[in-house]
């Protein structure tokens, strides 16, 4: 049995096991997938020391730590500064990769087919590992980007100033866990009062399928999607690394 797992906190909401199960079946391989709630950085380190796991997906709040603790990292993961995938090399050491990049690029390209405008600006809510991946994709697409933070530093902006930046065609991306199950009534924005008429939303949350923030956009007739496509694409990309590099004994 080859063991994979999702590491993070919380993880009980995750759809990852149901995404990986058909991949295992297609390749006729004896693999398992587990959800492991990690309560602290020390617990994360201890989990990586377990010898009987061949790969991990990593979610909040450990994507930066995953990169830090890996023995090696891909150029992409280093550039982003975060990793959501860990697999073992031929010596059994952890290699960090970032497949969130693949997932968000697919999510953006799908949106581009449906929007009647191209965003002139992106507003990224949050400053964690997922936000770093999103900002890197947007940078490569040459879309000016502002990160929105509760405690802004440098070029970041505060939530209270966000609406004024939505008057030009823009894309808002929620990279925070606010609104994720089970706190489904929460939204990172108290109000969309004054939001521009050409502002679209990608909410990386996929459980629930429609977040409170998405409902706010829906009520104003603005385009919005959850992160389900990103989840599927990043999982498939991670699986390719697991399958290619895992030592089968």
pLDDT digit string, tens, across residues 68-79? 999 999 999 999
The CATH number of 2-98+231-245 is 3.40.50.10860
Residue whose token pair is 């096991």: 17
* Tokens representing residue 44 in the block: 């994360």
Cβ partners under 8 Å of residue 129, min gap 6: 60, 61, 62, 63, 64, 80, 81, 82, 83, 84, 100
CATH class of 101-229: alpha beta
Is there a contact between 223 and 170 (Cβ–Cβ < 8 Å)?
no
Q: What residues does CATH 3.40.50.720 cover in the chain?
A: 101-229
Mean pLDDT calculated for residue range 189-198 = 96
Global pTM value = 0.94
Q: Could you give the residue range(s) of every CATH 3.40.50.10860 domain in the chain? A: 2-98+231-245
Alpha carbon 240 to chain centroid distance?
A: 18
Per the CB < 8 A criterion, the answer to whether 207 and 13 are in contact is: yes
> Residue 95 has what pLDDT?
98
Q: Is the pLDDT of residue 103 over 80?
A: yes
Active site residues: 63
Choose among 99, 180, 174, 163: nearest CA to 137: 99
């Amino acid at each position: 049995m080859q063991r994979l797992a999702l590491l993070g906190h919380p993880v009980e909401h995750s759809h990852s096991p149901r995404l990986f199960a058909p991949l295992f079946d297609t390749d006729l391989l004896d693999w398992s997938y587990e959800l492991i709630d990690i309560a602290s950085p020390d617990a994360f380190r201890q989990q990586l020391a377990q010898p009987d796991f061949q790969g991990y997906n990593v979610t909040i709040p450990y994507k930066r730590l995953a990169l830090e603790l890996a023995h090696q990292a891909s150029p992409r993961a280093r550039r982003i500064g975060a990793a959501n995938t860990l697999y073992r090399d031929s010596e059994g050491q952890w290699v960090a990769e970032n497949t969130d990049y693949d997932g968000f690029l697919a999510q953006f390209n799908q949106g581009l087919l449906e929007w009647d405008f191209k965003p002139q600006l992106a507003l990224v809510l949050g400053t964690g590992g997922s936000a770093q991946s999103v900002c890197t994709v947007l940078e490569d697409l040459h879309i000016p980007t502002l990160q929105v933070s509760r405690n802004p530093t440098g070029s970041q902006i505060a939530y209270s100033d966000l609406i004024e930046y939505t008057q030009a065609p823009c894309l808002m991306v929620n990279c925070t866990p606010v609104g994720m199950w089970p706190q489904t009534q929460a939204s990172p924005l108290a109000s969309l009062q004054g939001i521009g008429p050409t502002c679209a939303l990608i909410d990386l949350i996929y459980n629930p399928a429609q977040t409170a923030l998405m409902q706010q956009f829906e009520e104003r007739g603005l385009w919005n999607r959850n992160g389900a496509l990103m989840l599927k694409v990043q999982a498939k990309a991670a699986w390719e690394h697991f399958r290619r590099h895992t030592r089968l004994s």
